[in-house]
Amino acid sequence: MDSYCVMGNPVEHSRSPWIHARFAQLTGQDLHYGRRLIPLDGFAEAVRAFRLEGGKGCNITVPFKFEAAPLATQLSARAQLAGACNCLRFDGDAVHADNTDGIGLVSDIQVNASVTLAGLDVLLIGAGGAAAGVLGPLIETRPRRIVVANRTQAKAAVLVARHEALAQQHGVRLEAPELHAVRESHALVINATASSLGGAGIPVPASVLRPGALAVDMMYGPAAQGFMDWARAHGAQPRDGLGMLVEQAAEAFLFWRGVRPPSAQVLAELRAILD
Ligand code: ATR
């Protein structure tokens, strides 16, 4: 049976094994998907060992997404732009790497939440790995403007500079202002920071939320609650990162198996389990 896994640290909370087992059932694919807790200094060795055991591919989660690219013999354009990978596929001597986080977020917003991104004003809060993984696919949907706002402004400026050519190609305005200067309202606000994990408040004022704006936190569960409550209290439509999680998994499943599973059904099932 073909074998896959998610590698991370921590990884015990990961819903990926459940999601991929359900995808396999629904598409009639014969595979096993496990989870592996990887020592912080042992990622490359863990990938090597899994390949030797006959593993066909893996997902990569915190904190190893930046360590995966150097292991790849073929890197997708979006993984290259993100500078990070969330899945590998082993194919003989070849190691293919991709990043499906961005397309997962875009699918969740456009398909599951029925919000068309073209022409919108978007605020992306954060400039770490999570933000870097989604900026390219967001640009490709041709919003009017994307403001990347980060506590450390220089990181946002670097991220924006790396995506400038893609943005010009798609006619999208990219900006990286100082975080405290961001006040004007946006139709879509995406929280890609870890601020709620540390118990910190929302790093932007409520004026950034246009009435009825979609406000997405890329996390889910308790980590997303503060942002969701804040968005709801200020007239926005809150959305957690569970849909993005399932959609990025569906794209990874496609990358490995050549079949796209019914992600909306699996998202509904997962929400029912977690609620
Ligand atoms: P991830 O891979 O989850 O993005 P990361 O690369 O460490 O993790 O990035 C964390 C992001 O959350 C960064 O944008 C960080 O801002 P800085 O670049 O200034 O560090 C942001 N962040 C973390 N804690 C925050 C807080 N209390 N307020 C605002 N932003 C915060």
For residue 144, what pLDDT is reported?
Answer: 98
Specify whether 54 is located in the same domain as 25.
Answer: yes
Mutation test residue for ligand 1: of 60, 151, 179, 218, the one with most atoms within 8 Å of CB:
151
Whether 65 sits among the annotated catalytic residues: the reply is yes
Specify whether 129 is located in the same domain as 213.
Answer: yes
Mean pLDDT (whole number) for 175-202? 89
Q: Which atom of ligand 1 is nearest to the CA of 65?
A: 2
Give the contacts of 215 (CB within 8 A, at least 6 positions apart).
188, 189, 191, 209, 227, 228, 231, 236, 237, 238, 239
Q: Tell the residue nearest (CA) to atom 31 of ligand 1.
A: 195
Higher confidence at residue 129 or residue 246?
Answer: 246
For residue 199, what pLDDT is reported?
Answer: 66
Specify whether 120 is located in the same domain as 229.
Answer: yes
CA 29 – ligand 1 centroid, Å:
38
Specify whether 49 is located in the same domain as 148.
Answer: no
For residue 55, what pLDDT is reported?
Answer: 98
Q: Tell the residue nearest (CA) to atom 28 of ligand 1.
A: 195
Specify whether 267 is located in the same domain as 159.
Answer: no
User: Mean pLDDT score of the chain, rounded to an integer?
Assistant: 96
Position 110 in a domain = no
Q: What are the start-end ranges of the E strands in 142-263?
A: 145-149, 173-175, 186-191, 209-217, 237-239
Length reported for the chain: 275
pTM for the model = 0.96
Does the pLDDT of residue 270 top 80, yes or no?
yes
CATH assignment at residue 262? 3.40.50.10860
Q: What are the start-end ranges of the E strands in 27-99?
A: 31-37, 57-60, 74-75, 87-91, 94-98
Query: Residue 159 carries which side chain, given as an amino acid letter?
Result: L
Percentage, residues of the chain above pLDDT 70? 98
The pLDDT tens digits of the residues spanning 228-266 come to: 999 999 999 999 999 999 999 999 999 999 999 999 999
Specify whether 152 is located in the same domain as 234.
Answer: yes
Pocket of ligand 1 (CB under 6 A): 126-130, 150-152, 155, 193-195, 198, 200, 203
For residue 229, what pLDDT is reported?
Answer: 93
Position 187 in a domain = yes
Specify whether 134 is located in the same domain as 234.
Answer: yes
For residue 196, what pLDDT is reported?
Answer: 67
Position 105 in a domain = no
As a whole number of angstroms, the distance between CA 262 and CA 4 comes to: 19
CA-nearest of 89, 33, 84 to 61 is: 84
For residue 201, what pLDDT is reported?
Answer: 79
Mind giving me the DSSP string for 69-88?
GGG-SEE-HHHHHHT--SEE
CA 138 – ligand 1 centroid, Å:
19
Mean pLDDT (whole number) for 156-162? 97
Does the pLDDT of residue 220 top 80, yes or no?
yes
Specify whether 121 is located in the same domain as 82.
Answer: no
Q: How many domains are there within the chain?
A: 2
Specify whether 249 is located in the same domain as 234.
Answer: no
The pLDDT tens digits of the residues spanning 65-121 come to: 999 999 999 999 999 999 999 999 999 999 999 999 999 999 999 999 999 999 999
Specify whether 235 is located in the same domain as 158.
Answer: yes
Q: Which atom of ligand 1 is nearest to the CA of 197?
A: 24
CATH assignment at residue 221? 3.40.50.720
CA 49 – ligand 1 centroid, Å:
32
Q: Which atom of ligand 1 is nearest to the CA of 218?
A: 3
Q: Tell the residue nearest (CA) to atom 5 of ligand 1.
A: 128
Higher confidence at residue 263 or residue 196?
Answer: 263
For residue 194, what pLDDT is reported?
Answer: 76
Instruction: Give me the domain span that covers residue 236.
Output: 115-240
Specify whether 218 is located in the same domain as 261.
Answer: no
CA 93 – ligand 1 centroid, Å:
36
Q: Which atom of ligand 1 is nearest to the CA of 131?
A: 4
Specify whether 18 is located in the same domain as 119.
Answer: no
Mean pLDDT (whole number) for 38-55? 98
Position 104 in a domain = no
Residue 190 burial by Cβ neighbours in a 10 Å radius (0-12, 13-18, 19+): buried
Task: Pull the structure tokens for residue 126.
Answer: 């954060």
Set 15, 20, 65, 96: catalytic member:
65
As a whole number of angstroms, the distance between CA 120 and CA 97 comes to: 30
* Residue pair 229/122 in contact by the 8 Å Cβ criterion: no
Q: Tell the residue nearest (CA) to atom 11 of ligand 1.
A: 193
Position 144 in a domain = yes
pLDDT band for position 198 (cuts 50, 70, 90): low
Higher confidence at residue 202 or residue 164?
Answer: 164
